[in-house]
Structure formats: C-alpha cells, structure tokens
C-alpha cells in the first residue's frame, strides 16, 4: 500500500527518526528550534521534515507568526496494527507449536 511505503521510507533514515524523537520529547516546535538541536543545516532539516510530512508523520500548523511542527503518531500505529502485530503473533504461535511438537515426539 502506497501509504505504508511513505512511512517505511521516512522511518528508514536515522536523521528523520532523530527528528521524530525530538518532537516526541517536546511537541510543537519551530524549524529554528529543531535546527538548533541538530548537526544539520537548515536545508537538511527542511528536506527531512518534508519527507516526514509527506508520510503524514509530521503535521505543520501556523501559530501566530511561527509555523510549528507536530508529531503525528497515527501512521506508526497503523503500521503496527497491520504489520507488527500480525507477525509477532504468528511467531509466538509458531514457537508454541514447535514446543508442542518437540514435547510430543520425545
């Protein structure tokens, strides 16, 4: 699904994950604030924010004269529900089956 592609792509970069962590620690930050805690130039931060925004992971809002960036965790939750839950469940039941089989054949 195209929606997921954007999220996986956005999360595949350590700098972008770092920006999400920054927003998780304190939400609603301006570009200046994000830049001041990063080793990157303003252009680098802007470029990465744009990818995060396209993936829906960051939402921009005007607040007075500033534009603030907010972390939107909903796409990660949806990935979790659709992918992670599914496979961890199967893994757990596969292990349970293996245990069962090993114990039967002994």
Partner 1 sequence: MTTTATTTGITQVYSVYIKATPEAIWDAITKPEWTEKYGYGGRAEFDLRPGGSYRGFTNAAMRQAGGPEVGVDGEVLEADPPRKLVQTFRMVMDERMAAQGFTRLTYEISEGKGGVSKLTVTHELGDAPMLAVLMSGGMADQGAGGGWNWILSSLKTLLETGSPIDSNPANMG
How many binding residues for partner 1 (CB under 8 A)?
A: 23
Q: Is 28 in the site for partner 1 (CB under 8 A)?
A: yes
- Beta-bridge mates of residue 70: 59
Determine which residue in the list 15, 18, 38, 56 makes contact with partner 1, applying CB under 8 A.
56
Cα-to-chain-centroid distance, residue 60 = 16
Determine which residue in the list 8, 47, 54, 70 makes contact with partner 1, applying CB under 8 A.
70
Least spacing, CB of residue 29 vs partner 1, in Å: 9
73-102: contacts with partner 1 (CB under 8 A): 73-75, 77-78, 81, 85
Strands (E), the chain: 29-30, 58-63, 66-71
Q: What is the largest CA-CA distance in the chain?
A: 72
Least spacing, CB of residue 50 vs partner 1, in Å: 16
């Amino acid at each position: 699904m195209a929606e997921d592609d954007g999220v996986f792509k956005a999360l595949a970069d350590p700098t972008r994950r770092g920006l999400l962590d920054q927003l998780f620690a304190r939400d609603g930050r301006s570009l200046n604030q994000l830049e001041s805690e990063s080793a990157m130039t303003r252009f680098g931060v802007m470029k990465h924010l744009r990818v995060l925004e396209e993936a829906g992971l960051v939402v921009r809002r005007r607040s007075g004269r500033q534009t603030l960036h907010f972390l939107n965790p909903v796409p990660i939750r949806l990935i979790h529900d659709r992918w992670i839950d599914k496979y961890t469940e199967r893994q757990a039941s596969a292990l349970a089956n293996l245990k069962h089989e090993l114990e039967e054949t002994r």
